[in-house]
Structure 1
């Protein structure tokens, strides 16, 4: 087996195996949660412990559902929902711009839901007691606030809540929201009593149980995400269940002190709820799991503050609750000075590729106005970047094509003497100035780009429900067409994605992918070994079925990449005097020329 074909076969097999692994873990469509499903009784969060060196508040779990309480309406261009005056909870939030499915009657995505409904998920803020105070002296999860100002929470229309204790402390909370997904919670305490006290502000995001539709795939992070002093941390829900027990916290927990900046919360594939304390000020980030109640919790705690008689203290915390839109999160990072906030999007191990690739794709989509065309334009751009390296590779492959008859002759002369064959082949490569390893470079270059684009298409919300043309309504989902119903001509539905039939009865895009891979293969040097020939002959059709369940946007990229590669390689080969008989090969199908003529030529050459 010559070095050229060894390297090419190795690169192809490796890429095949790696992509096969990715295919095996490619997730099915997300389960849609019925917003009208019966409500479930759930428990509430644990009380936060005080920061170090202060008396800890008892960590308790309440098993009963919360009583009914008045609510304030939330109505912004991006959000709709309500805030409960019981605890001042932000616990009812839906995203106006996003539907659960492509169906015109589909409900919009609901992000947060209150205790008493299925999968409670909410944010609550308050003060923890320090010196001179008890848990009853500070507002907690069951404190009922009164409205001191405002009605409906909207951009430029904040609401103000108030509560007083029996020791002369007046707690005031102002909640504001912008036109996207950022809330600002400004808590202040005025001491009208005669004695000094101490207390600390906190914020909590609590999630009861793991979310519905959790995918649990290693290529996607779902769970806790945080950044403290420049360090990004991601922990899946199962990882939180393995946290050490900290008695002071009353749960399994991890406590991290941040000196300058950071944020912490929970992220889904497309949505996120994150606490963002004042940047540049020390705080404590807490990740917590309460086993008995099955509650996952993230917290931010500020240092204990001394409040003298007649004084007022104020603490401000932001809450991001919405879609992980790249432009929106990037703007928050820049305009609100939130370091590393863009990393809340799951860029993966290939972040050095996924970030710039998505930035270019986002720009192209803004210019063109169609994400499918933007993917095609991105493919041209990426091919242009690697053209110098690809050019050398295609020139080498053209030369290898020209050497095929001589290689056949060498093989026949050497017979079973593999050492002699190898030596003469190396000499031939040297004489003709051909690098047999150069031909596999396009495949090796394509693998990391393919994985990076796969990640971009899979995790970024900009690809979710992004249409192309015709039957392709969602580039983040597999091609919905199928041979099973003759691509919609027959009066029955295509097999459901993820089913066995869907793997067999593939759609239009996978078929085009197989054809373009086959055409591209016709320009490559043919292996001299019959086993290798069979492997290469079946490779396009194996990939065709294997990639049938991948996101259609990724298949559009691969088809475009194959067409560009074929055109480049064809033109480069012709420019070097080699005229590939591609269409002749198509007519002959998989039939190979008999080796006899090659043998006769070699015999004539010896004569």
Structure 2
């Protein structure tokens, strides 16, 4: 391999190391937002901001009364996937836990809480209502403090919807029927009965609001914040990018108000969970995302068109709410039912053309095998099989270059310090023996996007969360829990906290196996002639061992499997070309060379 191509590989690997080092030593700070005031969200405060045609484009403040008291009446929610309750004050869905997911791997740990009331430490809830139009006042329509009454049903289950009602005392009777499936989809049907003598104008809406002090992962490769789809266009907005009321006042209309013509949805997404408003497909609506400084409230809204209700008539609308886990099969099923691009609520990243297919295959393999760790190994075999034609050419070239090393040494002696003469001689030697020195670069370059794509898949997909492999690996999305600092659990000391700078020294079994596999694989490759390059390549396996030690076990498992398969392929192909790799001899010679250099 000539110097130019060796430098290409060296630059590629060093760039990779720089990225890994930056990610480890300079992670972005976690976003912490304080909430000194406990406020609430209701309908738009200005009737002119109601979503009545023609749409004003305004996004007025959602302000409301005090928090719902702890002893306020509630209606229970009980499904195979969810448990919680609805506050009858405001009719908000504001207490929700995920039955199938625990905070820790241990199933005795608490359930994951998705939604919480305003009085809690992490307010996060869904609110539905009507915005007034015409001569109506906000007191005439249901909002955040409306005292709903149960008209039908006792507990919301997949088999038993519930109906709430409220009479405004001025001739309008509102009803809200809430139903839910066995997964995470609520359907909220709202009606208004007009018993007055005049026509009324009002507009239904849905709001998802969460207050400050958000507990975010805060990692730059993951999107947390607003996610929405508007007529086939997906958009992601970070919390810090939401325009506040002051910005709205300055600019006249916020940039994040979108008039959806036919299909869309909007909500908040976390790493594994999501709360999303979904109007009926084919329905036009106004999609709004904003930040309300008064109370530190982040809001997404789906404002439906204004309706005119004549005397004696009843008008209604329907809006769905997804509140739950971003399970691939579940959201795929909803997408197949008509929710456009719903699977793109998972943050596939820039390499979506790789991450999405990789996950689909991995998920299928897990379904067949029944274990995500073995599925990763089988996936690695499949990827290596696809890249085998490139790998074959690379390993054949390496075998021939190994055979040509004695002749290359003679060329170096003849050329002396004349590097141009050496390069010309090497090119003639390669051409004569039909050796392509760049053949070894392409497989390495191909592995980099695959590595990052698999890293993304393991990091963001729920199916890897708390997924066990075997023995001590009980969560493939987390680092290897063993530590060399306590002799892998034999000593009565806990390893350093993963967030500590000393965690890089706390190597587990898998990272150590990774370093060994890279070191063995390196012994099959032609040794660099340059002493500096040789030293860098000699240290590279151990640098990777430390750098990847804090990465997810699933990713380290993939890299070990990849190195093992690569070693086996390369060894067999090189033997088939007449070259018999002396791995043990290379190891002993490497030790002797390092010992000699030390002297």
Q: TM-score, normalised by structure 2?
A: 0.93
**Residue 336 of structure 2: aligned partner:** 334
Residues 187 and 318 of structure 2 are in contact (CA less than 8 Å); yes or no, is this contact kept in structure 1? Answer: yes
Residues 23 and 547 of structure 1 are in contact (CA less than 8 Å); yes or no, is this contact kept in structure 2? Answer: no
Pick one of 230, 233, 236 that aligns with 2:235: 233
CA separation of 1:594 and 1:457: change in aligned 2, threshold 3 A: closer
**Residue 283 of structure 1: aligned partner:** 285
**Residue 172 of structure 2: aligned partner:** 169
Moved more, 233-242 or 393-402: 233-242
Distance 1:280 1:302 in 2: 12
**Residue 40 of structure 2: aligned partner:** 44
Query: 1:178-327 to 2 correspondence within 5 Å?
Result: 178-212=181-215, 214-240=216-242, 245-247=247-249, 254-327=256-329
**Residue 107 of structure 1: aligned partner:** 110
**Residue 447 of structure 1: aligned partner:** 448
Residues 58 and 250 of structure 1 are in contact (CA less than 8 Å); yes or no, is this contact kept in structure 2? Answer: no
- C-alpha displacement of 1:167: 3.0
Moved more, 57-66 or 436-445: 57-66
1:429-451 Cα deviation digits (max 9, x unpaired): 11111111111112101100000
Distance 1:518 1:112 in 2: 49
Distance 1:346 1:296 in 2: 20
**Residue 358 of structure 1: aligned partner:** 359
**Residue 600 of structure 1: aligned partner:** none
**Residue 542 of structure 2: aligned partner:** 541
- C-alpha displacement of 1:8: 2.6
- C-alpha displacement of 1:593: 10
**Residue 471 of structure 2: aligned partner:** 470
Residues 57 and 129 of structure 1 are in contact (CA less than 8 Å); yes or no, is this contact kept in structure 2? Answer: no
Moved more, 248-257 or 574-583: 248-257
**Residue 5 of structure 1: aligned partner:** 6
- C-alpha displacement of 1:40: 8.2
Residues 11 and 440 of structure 1 are in contact (CA less than 8 Å); yes or no, is this contact kept in structure 2? Answer: no
**Residue 401 of structure 1: aligned partner:** 402
- C-alpha displacement of 1:13: 2.1
Distance 2:233 2:116 in 1: 30
- The SS at the match of 2:591 is coil
> Where in structure 1 are there 5+ consecutive unaligned residues?
32-38, 596-607
Distance 2:59 2:227 in 1: 26
- The SS at the match of 1:421 is helix
Residues 137 and 165 of structure 1 are in contact (CA less than 8 Å); yes or no, is this contact kept in structure 2? Answer: yes
- C-alpha displacement of 1:585: 1.9
Distance 2:305 2:436 in 1: 65
- C-alpha displacement of 1:58: 7.3
Distance 1:54 1:281 in 2: 15
**Residue 519 of structure 1: aligned partner:** 520
CA separation of 1:148 and 1:304: change in aligned 2, threshold 3 A: same
Residues 402 and 578 of structure 1 are in contact (CA less than 8 Å); yes or no, is this contact kept in structure 2? Answer: yes
Pick one of 83, 86, 96 that aligns with 2:86: 83
Cα root mean square deviation, aligned: 2.4
Query: 1:371-386 to 2 correspondence within 5 Å?
Result: 371-386=372-387
Distance 1:61 1:219 in 2: 34
Query: 1:489-568 to 2 correspondence within 5 Å?
Result: 489-568=490-569
Residues 478 and 552 of structure 1 are in contact (CA less than 8 Å); yes or no, is this contact kept in structure 2? Answer: yes
- C-alpha displacement of 1:310: 1.7
Residues 227 and 234 of structure 2 are in contact (CA less than 8 Å); yes or no, is this contact kept in structure 1? Answer: yes
- C-alpha displacement of 1:15: 2.8
Residues 72 and 153 of structure 1 are in contact (CA less than 8 Å); yes or no, is this contact kept in structure 2? Answer: yes
- The SS at the match of 1:590 is helix
- The SS at the match of 1:497 is coil
Distance 1:489 1:146 in 2: 61
> Where in structure 2 are there 5+ consecutive unaligned residues?
none
Residues 150 and 163 of structure 2 are in contact (CA less than 8 Å); yes or no, is this contact kept in structure 1? Answer: yes
- The SS at the match of 1:332 is helix
Q: TM-score, normalised by structure 1?
A: 0.92
CA separation of 1:568 and 1:30: change in aligned 2, threshold 3 A: farther
**Residue 459 of structure 1: aligned partner:** 460
- The SS at the match of 2:534 is helix
- C-alpha displacement of 1:261: 0.5
CA separation of 1:417 and 1:63: change in aligned 2, threshold 3 A: farther
- C-alpha displacement of 1:166: 2.7
1:163-205 Cα deviation digits (max 9, x unpaired): 1123322111100011111100001111122111111110000
- C-alpha displacement of 1:242: 6.5
Pick one of 133, 157, 171 that aligns with 1:130: 133
1:322-342 Cα deviation digits (max 9, x unpaired): 11111111011102x000000
- C-alpha displacement of 1:244: 6.7
- C-alpha displacement of 1:423: 1.1
Q: How many residues align?
A: 586
- The SS at the match of 1:591 is helix
Residues 157 and 179 of structure 2 are in contact (CA less than 8 Å); yes or no, is this contact kept in structure 1? Answer: yes
- C-alpha displacement of 1:22: 3.8
- C-alpha displacement of 1:53: 4.0
Distance 1:78 1:314 in 2: 29
**Residue 416 of structure 1: aligned partner:** 417
Distance 2:363 2:206 in 1: 34
- The SS at the match of 1:347 is coil
Residues 2 and 425 of structure 1 are in contact (CA less than 8 Å); yes or no, is this contact kept in structure 2? Answer: no
1:392-418 Cα deviation digits (max 9, x unpaired): 111111111111111111112111111
- C-alpha displacement of 1:119: 1.4
- C-alpha displacement of 1:159: 0.3
Residues 485 and 491 of structure 1 are in contact (CA less than 8 Å); yes or no, is this contact kept in structure 2? Answer: yes
- C-alpha displacement of 1:30: 12
Residues 42 and 127 of structure 2 are in contact (CA less than 8 Å); yes or no, is this contact kept in structure 1? Answer: no
Distance 1:468 1:30 in 2: 32
**Residue 598 of structure 1: aligned partner:** none
1:484-522 Cα deviation digits (max 9, x unpaired): 111111122222212222211311111000000001111
- The SS at the match of 2:157 is coil
- C-alpha displacement of 1:374: 0.7
* 2:67 matches 1:65: yes
Distance 1:117 1:594 in 2: 64
